[in-house]
Every structure is written in C-alpha cells, then in structure tokens.
Amino acid sequence: MNDAEVQILTEREPGEVGLVRWEDFHSRTPFTFDCGESIPEFTLRYETYGRLNRTRDNAILICHALSGDHHCAGVHSLNDRKPGWWNNFIGPGKAVDTNRYFVICSNCIGGCQGSTGPSSTDPRSGEPYNLRFPMLTIRDMVRTQHRLVRDHLDLPRLFAVIGGSMGGMQVLQWAIEYPEYVHKIIPLATTGRQNAQSIAFDEVGRFAIMRDSEWKNGDYDPGAGPNVGLAVARMMAHITYLSDQGLEEKFGRSRKAGPGRTFFEPEFNVESYLRHQGASFINRFDANTYLYFTKALNRFDLYAPDGSLEDSMRQIRAGALVVGFTSDWLFPPAQNRDLVHALLRCGKTASYAELGMTLGHDSFLVHAPDLYRLISTFLAS
C-alpha cells in the first residue's frame, strides 16, 4: 500500500488514536483564584492527540465534565478495557479529526486525576490541601488551562474549544475570558446557570458526602474517605444524567437472574447497574473534588441580575455551535437555546442544534453519527 492509499483509507474509515500517554504541566508561578486565595504552584495533567501544524493554529481544547478527566481518547495500554471518555468523537477521521487538528485535554484544576486539587500536597505545609484548597470557579479552571495552552504549549490561539455539561460552561467562559484567543466554540448540553432542581440534586450529593462519618471535615486519609456518601452522590447523579425513556429502554422492570437475593439487595437490574456505578466511581474519584466541582457548577452564572445574558455574550468573538438534547432534563434544551438567542441578539455568529436523542444529559457522550457530522462540519466550515 502506498502513501496515497493509506491516506484514502484513513479518510474513509475512522481510526483510533491508539496508545497515548499523559504529560504534566507544572506551573511554578502562584495562581490566585477568583475567591482571592492563592496557591504557590500547580500541575495540570493533560493529553494531546494529533499534530500541531506549522502555523500552530489547529489546536482544539476539549473541556471535561464533572466526572471526566484529561484522558478523552485512545488507551494507556493495549490491555485497557476502556478507551478515553470521548474516544468515539476524537481520532483520525472522526468528528474531531486528529488528522487535521491537534487536540488537547487537561484534568481541571481542583481535580483528582493528576492535576492539583484538594487531595494534592500544599508545598507550604507538606500536608494535603483538603478543604484548605481555595474555593473554585469555572473561570479558575479556564484561567489555569490558559497557562497550559498559551504559556506552556505556546499556542497563539485555539482553533476551537469543545465540551459538554461542566465542560460546556468552561467553553463559554473561555470565549468570554479570552475572546481574541478562541476561534470557535462548541458547548454541548450546558447552561449559563443551573436551575434550582440541579442545585438541589448536587446539594443532596454533598450532604451525603459531608455527613458520612468517614469524611472527617475533608481530612480523610488517602485511600479511605466517605465512600458511602460518594457512592450515593454518584448513584443519584447518574440517574439525572440519563432519562426516563433511556432507563426504560435499557432496563425497564427486568430482574436479576441467578441465586436468591438477600432481603433488600438489588432485585431489579437497574438497581445493580446503579450500585456498579457507585462502586466504580469511589475507586477513581476524590470526594473533596466532588464537593469543589459541584459547588463551582452551582455558582457558575452568566446572567445579569435582570435575567439577561447579553452582558456576558457581548464580548464573545468566537463562532458558536450550541448543542442541546431534547431528553436532557438536567441542563434542558431551553437553557441551551437561551445561550444562542442571547448570542444572536448581540449580533454574534451562533447556531443551535437540538438533537432528539433519548439518553438524557449523557447524550453528548454516546454514539451519535448526526452529532459527529454536525461537529465535523462546523469545525471545517
């Protein structure tokens, strides 16, 4: 097979980014959070896929959601059971085409997958930050990412910033904070501010964590912690990421087969599924990060006191494709539409796509050729 044939094959059949490895960006300059507190240095763990072009203007930043991380495509070893969380979107010939774009994703500040967060050691005390970690905002996430892409990776600008849910909030904040730096944005399944119901669910999760006797005011030992509270928070939140219809199609009232169950142990398959979600989450996520991230989500608010979005949207220069999902009841379509309407009222270039997918909020993560096409076309346009 000659090079031309390889090229044709790659363009026709989406490929995999394959083996990837993360890198760490150590920022040695103090960072001052929106709350006014500072930390002397921080680390952002990140991954990149594809190649930067000579003009250094083909970079796309992916922003992750609450439970995500920097590992959004490829595998870390050939034995990995699961690839990165957006592997279906990112790769050679995929919606975010690594043959064309240089793709970056970093674990957010405050996170627990290698970036500096509550579980990291405060170099000033030699102790973990835990609740001494400064209160965090979406804007803090964006400003630390900016150091990574501008100062460390030396990118003159970002071709695009893409993300869903909490990632979508970062996308919006990027376009507001660094209007000249961002060419295109694709916020998915997101909002300019959460409604009371979403805040309420997050509060129940935080309550479950903080009232778990193992939480110890945030000073639990590494490896220990409020596992029950964190599992409860995750199980509940996971229901809100899906939908009535999605759960019905996947599980309905189907029951577990096999040996007799004990009294109140899982009987319906949806119960076992949720327990599995809870159990696997506590193995990979830090409870304090969960508190900080949900609080950042709840406080994010692009609206002016009079209920208008225009003051925030006016400064945006990037072209926007906002994507909502009909079955998303956590960040409902109306909240996504609101963003586009405000952008249009400000004379910006913005499109809205509402996809009729049944899986709820998590629709932005699943196999969706319509969505792939929307994204690749918008990026290429």
Per CB under 8 A, which of residues 119..178 are in contact with a copy of itself?
A: 131, 135
Do residues 358 and 243 lie in contact, with contact meaning Cβ atoms separated by under 8 Å?
yes
Exposed/middle/buried for 95, CB within 10 Å: 0-12, 13-18, 19+? buried
> Cα–Cα distances in Å, from 282 out to 8, 84, 115, 235?
44, 18, 18, 11
304 binds a copy of itself (CB under 8 A): no
Tokens of 242: 């899906």
CB of 325 to a copy of itself, least distance (A): 15
CB atoms within 10 A of CB 306: 7
CB of 267 to a copy of itself, least distance (A): 8
Binding footprint of a copy of itself, residue count (CB under 8 A): 50
42, containing H or E segment: strand 42-49
Residues in Cβ contact with 277 at an 8 Å cutoff, skipping those fewer than 6 apart: 234, 235, 238
231 binds a copy of itself (CB under 8 A): yes
- 221 is known as an active-site residue: no
- 77 is known as an active-site residue: no
Do residues 166 and 330 lie in contact, with contact meaning Cβ atoms separated by under 8 Å?
no
* Options 251, 326, 344, 372; binder of a copy of itself; rule CB under 8 A: 251
* Options 138, 208, 323, 368; binder of a copy of itself; rule CB under 8 A: 208
Residue type at 333 in one-letter notation: P
User: Binding mask 282-301 vs a copy of itself (x if CB under 8 A, - otherwise)?
Assistant: ---------x---x--x--x
> Which residue is it, tokens 């996971």?
238
- 26 is known as an active-site residue: no
* Options 76, 147, 152, 275; binder of a copy of itself; rule CB under 8 A: 275
Question: Distance between CA atoms of 176 and 170, rounded to whole angstroms?
Answer: 10
Q: Where do contacts with a copy of itself occur on this chain (CB under 8 A)?
A: 131, 135, 193-197, 199-201, 203-204, 206-208, 210-213, 228, 231-232, 235-236, 239, 242-244, 247-248, 250-253, 263-264, 266-268, 270-271, 274-275, 278, 291, 295, 298, 301, 329, 332
